[in-house]
Amino acid sequence: MEFEGEHLLPGQIGHFFVLLAFIASILSTIAFFTASRKTDLLEKRSWLKFARLAFITQLIAAVIIFITIFYICANHYFEYMYVYKHASLELEPKYLLACIWEGQEGSFLLWAIWHSILGIFIMLKSKEWEAPVMTVISVAQFFLLMMLLGWYIGDIRLGSSPFTLTRNEIEGPIFSQPNYLSFIKDGIGLNVLLRNYWMVIHPPILFLGFAATIIPFAFAYAGIQTKRYGEWVTPALPWVLFSAAVLGTGIMMGGKWAYESLSFGGYWAWDPVENASLVPWLILVAGLHTMVIFKATGHSLKASYLFAFLSFIFILYSTFLTRTGVLGDTSVHSFTDAGKAINVMILLFVLSFTLPSLILLAVHAKKMPAEIKEESTNSREFWMFIGSLVFFLSAIFIIAKTSVPVYNKIFGTSIAQPENVEFSYNKVIILVAIIIGILSAIGQYFKYKKTTGSFIFKKIALPTVIAAVITVLLAIFYPLTYYKMGAGFLGAAYFALFAAIYSVIANGAYIWTGLNGKLKSAGGSIAHIGFSLMIAGILISSSNKEVISNSRANGINLQISGTDPMTKEKDNPLENLTLIRQVPASMGQYEVTYLKDSFGNEKGRRFYELLFQKKDANKKIIEEFTLTPDVYIMKDNNMSSNPDTKTYLNKDVFTFISYAINNDAIEDTGSFTIHELAEGDTAFYSNGIIILNRVVKNPDNEKYHFKPTDAALMADITLISKDSLRYPASPLIHIDEFGLNQVDDTVYAQNMYVKFAGVTDNRRIKIGIKESDKLIQYVTLKAYVFPYINLVWLGLIIMAMGVITSAVKRAKLSTFYAALALVFAAAGLFYMFLLAN
């Protein structure tokens, strides 16, 4: 049967280049491995020439595959299953790239492309290390490209092709008709949570970090294969620094995406997918420090091997966790189960790198050079090793907890996560932060081999005192307010804050006094400052995070509640504020008005325009801004909420919609009618009467909770409709530090809301009534203030700059390469700016 309207040529081109890339990866693996074993220079060069040709061929093929996928997505060729699943007509062009790496096939392809690009640099710069290092990279390419084949061997499909036709994947009567494409009006489209500019930037950076971790692994293998056990550290170290910078940046970009796109009110929630990417970075940082130790003293070579191997092994293990469906419902953003065959292939990928590398390490460990003399406890290398060990043990702790679903699946157990998952991590990691903060503060003042105690005391005394004074001042004038986990955890938070401040001051002092202000040599200290600033920002913003959408004595409480998808904690309904359209309500120091809503480009997406105003004592507006959080009503009628944030230098105001209804676009022309009533008086409205029963001073009931010393008046009102039904209402007026506040009440059954408008000179109560002929438009939102959250992002940038500074210094990059790196960085920042705007 000939099907109408299909565009089969792009798919045929894509299939051809997938096959070409796969075959080229096999040939390059064989050729590089053979070259690594040859001792005859002519033979070695011949095999290397062929291997390079094959490797470059698979790079070109992979790029063409990527371009082809982009082409079919951009042109909405829904005859391809990949396009149908990930693209849609409504999708903005800037998110087309995200369509590619939303799916398993596209993300594997992105990973393979980064391997190929990094491989080119290895071939250009690694000289005698090229063959064994490229052997490892080519083996990884073999596995990654095999995931894209989509071949059937009997009933088993080897990989999943991005060029599979929709009619071959979905069963249905329409696919037996030649004009089936006329029935497919649109694709499923990109997940709404991924429609954020960070998801165009974050995955490429993260996968570059994933790809880069293979290079230290490959150099470690090369050291064993060539029996040059210690020499591999020198060429590998710049790559370790590069990997740590890129992977760390990619992880925190994911945190920024979560902060801007998810509604759990934060940037990190110990989700299994987050953890799976963090663990390799922690081990990578541990390996970085042991390699520096080895370069300086000859100690820690075996630890360097282990950490180099494990960093990439845990990258592969994270792939297994997030792509095989083993995590189940424990993660909100892992891939679903891709099928048994793919799962087996991923497992083989993991085992093919894990078992040989660890076996080789075990076999050759005794042959590796080692310093007989133990490190002195007053030497720099000793404390650096302790720091590395802390990083490594924290990584093991995190991955052990994350792997609970794996244990349950293998052993048939039913181990459950604790009720407060987030705290179960925090109570351990905060101790890690204390240790690392103190070690990074004092570690660089120690000398290698041995340092006198008097020298250390002299150097760290002043930074210690300054850090202690700053911490005490913060405790007095800006205390941490994280009380819900008890005094013990709060005390640990203060110790961690002291350690972070201590590290910033001590490393800054070391740059000035120990390095005489030479920033080119201060990469490590700069990285420590950035890391510590980030920790300080996390502690302050998390501890002093404040909910300002409090409906205990403000607004309308609809009892909206649920369970947060990230933290698994039950939401407090009193922390959600309901806003009636065009009716201002107090929110902290702001007066917030729900102005209007509008549809987005995507079906089911609606943006809510919220006006925030700050007024002085005379009700004069001193600040004004608008936020537009949005919701997306999915096909199963579940609601996905995307927050919006107002960023200041010292805080963020973070808002998201917790409940919304589909309001129509009809303007409400109704207005308030004011009635002056004494207690017991009545007034009429269109459907009945209103009775002012009494006025209550400082009410303390189910809705309001005022103290006797407050200044609040509540009108206790009963509405009696024509059908004799009674409805209570309790509008309120109160005075606080921000001035006079009116809290309206709504009687939804009567499409009416009631206002306590004031008190007359003769002590009669002014009651405002507004009736509507249609369902009152309202929206319920939650809002936080995150103080000093920009320290988190600033610290990340400084840390990355420090690591890159160290990488440039250790790699001895030429001016040309440094300039090229700056050009790429500037281009990346410009690209991010375009996406954000």
> Chain-wide mean pLDDT for the chain?
86
Per-residue confidence (pLDDT) for residue 572, from 0 to 100: 67
Structure tokens at 343: 């799962």
For residues 99 and 155, the answer to whether their CB atoms sit within 8 Å is no
Per-residue confidence (pLDDT) for residue 536, from 0 to 100: 95
Cα 798–799–802 angle (5° rounding)? 85
DSSP one-letter code for 450: -
Per-residue confidence (pLDDT) for residue 570, from 0 to 100: 55
DSSP one-letter code for 511: I
Helix 130-146 vs helix 340-364: crossing angle, to nearest 10: 160
d(CA 785, CA 540) in angstroms, rounded, equals: 12
d(CA 560, CA 610) in angstroms, rounded, equals: 19
Distances (CA, A) of 451 to 378, 455, 456, 468, 483: 6, 7, 7, 24, 41
For residues 612 and 594, the answer to whether their CB atoms sit within 8 Å is no
Closest CA to 586 of 627, 561, 615, 628: 615
End-to-end Cα, the chain, rounded Å:
48
Per-residue confidence (pLDDT) for residue 596, from 0 to 100: 85
Structure tokens at 779: 């929206």
d(CA 122, CA 212) in angstroms, rounded, equals: 11
Closest CA to 438 of 546, 576, 543, 535: 535
d(CA 207, CA 253) in angstroms, rounded, equals: 12
pLDDT digits (tens, 9 = 90+) for 146-163: 999 988 887 778 889 999
For residues 397 and 283, the answer to whether their CB atoms sit within 8 Å is no
Q: Give the long-range contacts of residues 8-15, CB within 8 A, separation 24 or more.
A: 8/79, 10/68, 10/71, 10/72, 10/77, 10/80, 10/163, 11/72, 11/80, 11/163, 11/165, 13/64, 13/68, 14/65, 14/68, 14/69, 14/72, 14/161, 14/162, 14/163, 15/161, 15/163
Find residue 596's DSSP bridge partners: 609
d(CA 289, CA 244) in angstroms, rounded, equals: 11
Per-residue confidence (pLDDT) for residue 702, from 0 to 100: 79
For residues 613 and 623, the answer to whether their CB atoms sit within 8 Å is yes
User: Residue 806: helix, strand or coil by DSSP?
Assistant: helix
Helix, strand, coil percent values for the chain (each to nearest 5):
55, 15, 30
Q: What is the dihedral of CA 113, 119, 120, 122, to 10 degrees?
A: 160
For residues 781 and 509, the answer to whether their CB atoms sit within 8 Å is no
Pairing of strands 605-615, 621-627: antiparallel
Per-residue confidence (pLDDT) for residue 36, from 0 to 100: 93
d(CA 216, CA 212) in angstroms, rounded, equals: 8
User: Residue 689: helix, strand or coil by DSSP?
Assistant: strand
Q: Which amino acid belongs to residue 330?
A: T
Closest CA to 287 of 216, 218, 354: 216
Name the one residue in this structure whose structure tokens are 């990190």: 268
Q: Enumerate helices (H) and strands (E) in the chain, giving the number of each.
A: 21, 23
For residues 634 and 641, the answer to whether their CB atoms sit within 8 Å is no
Distances (CA, A) of 115 to 238, 463, 791: 17, 44, 33
Helix 790-811 vs helix 815-836: crossing angle, to nearest 10: 160
Please report the DSSP string for 542-590 in residue order: HHT-EE----SSSSB------B-TTT-PBPPGGG-EEEEBT--EEETTE
**What's the distance, CA 426 to chain centroid?**
17
Q: What H or E segment, with its residue span, contains residue 640?
A: strand 639-642
Structure tokens at 767: 């009651």
Per-residue confidence (pLDDT) for residue 565, from 0 to 100: 44
For residue 658, count other CB atoms closer than 10 A to its CB: 26
DSSP one-letter code for 705: B
Please report the DSSP string for 246-261 in residue order: HHHHHHHHHHHHHHHH
For residues 791 and 541, the answer to whether their CB atoms sit within 8 Å is yes
d(CA 72, CA 74) in angstroms, rounded, equals: 6
Name the one residue in this structure whose structure tokens are 């709504």: 746
Per-residue confidence (pLDDT) for residue 84, from 0 to 100: 94
For residues 203 and 110, the answer to whether their CB atoms sit within 8 Å is yes
Closest CA to 32 of 9, 15, 7, 49: 49
Name the one residue in this structure whose structure tokens are 């917030």: 592
Residues contacting residue 300 through CB under 8 Å, at least 6 positions apart: 290, 291, 293, 294, 381, 385, 388
Per-residue confidence (pLDDT) for residue 172, from 0 to 100: 83
For residues 734 and 642, the answer to whether their CB atoms sit within 8 Å is no
User: Residue 172: helix, strand or coil by DSSP?
Assistant: coil
Pairing of strands 590-599, 644-647: unpaired
Structure tokens at 638: 């579940």
Q: Where are the beta strands (DSSP E) in 121-225?
A: 151-153, 156-158
d(CA 420, CA 520) in angstroms, rounded, equals: 44
Please report the DSSP string for 732-788 in residue order: EEEEETTEEEEE-EEEGGGTEEEEEEEE-TTS-EEEEEEE-SSPPPEEEEEEEEEET
Pairing of strands 585-587, 577-580: unpaired
Per-residue confidence (pLDDT) for residue 571, from 0 to 100: 59
Q: What H or E segment, with its residue span, contains residue 688?
A: strand 688-697
d(CA 771, CA 670) in angstroms, rounded, equals: 6
Closest CA to 631 of 639, 623, 620: 639
d(CA 660, CA 89) in angstroms, rounded, equals: 26
Q: Which amino acid belongs to residue 539?
A: L
Specify the pTM.
0.83
For residues 658 and 675, the answer to whether their CB atoms sit within 8 Å is no
Distances (CA, A) of 250 to 193, 198, 278, 307: 18, 10, 10, 20
pLDDT digits (tens, 9 = 90+) for 655-700: 988 887 665 545 566 788 999 999 999 999 988 999 999 999 999 9
Half-sphere exposure of 105 (CA within 13 A, CB side): 25
d(CA 52, CA 366) in angstroms, rounded, equals: 34
Extract the residue ranges of the chain whose pLDDT is less than 70. Answer: 263-265, 328-339, 551-573, 634-639, 661-669, 748-749, 773-776, 812-837
For residue 359, count other CB atoms closer than 10 A to its CB: 10
For residues 650 and 733, the answer to whether their CB atoms sit within 8 Å is no
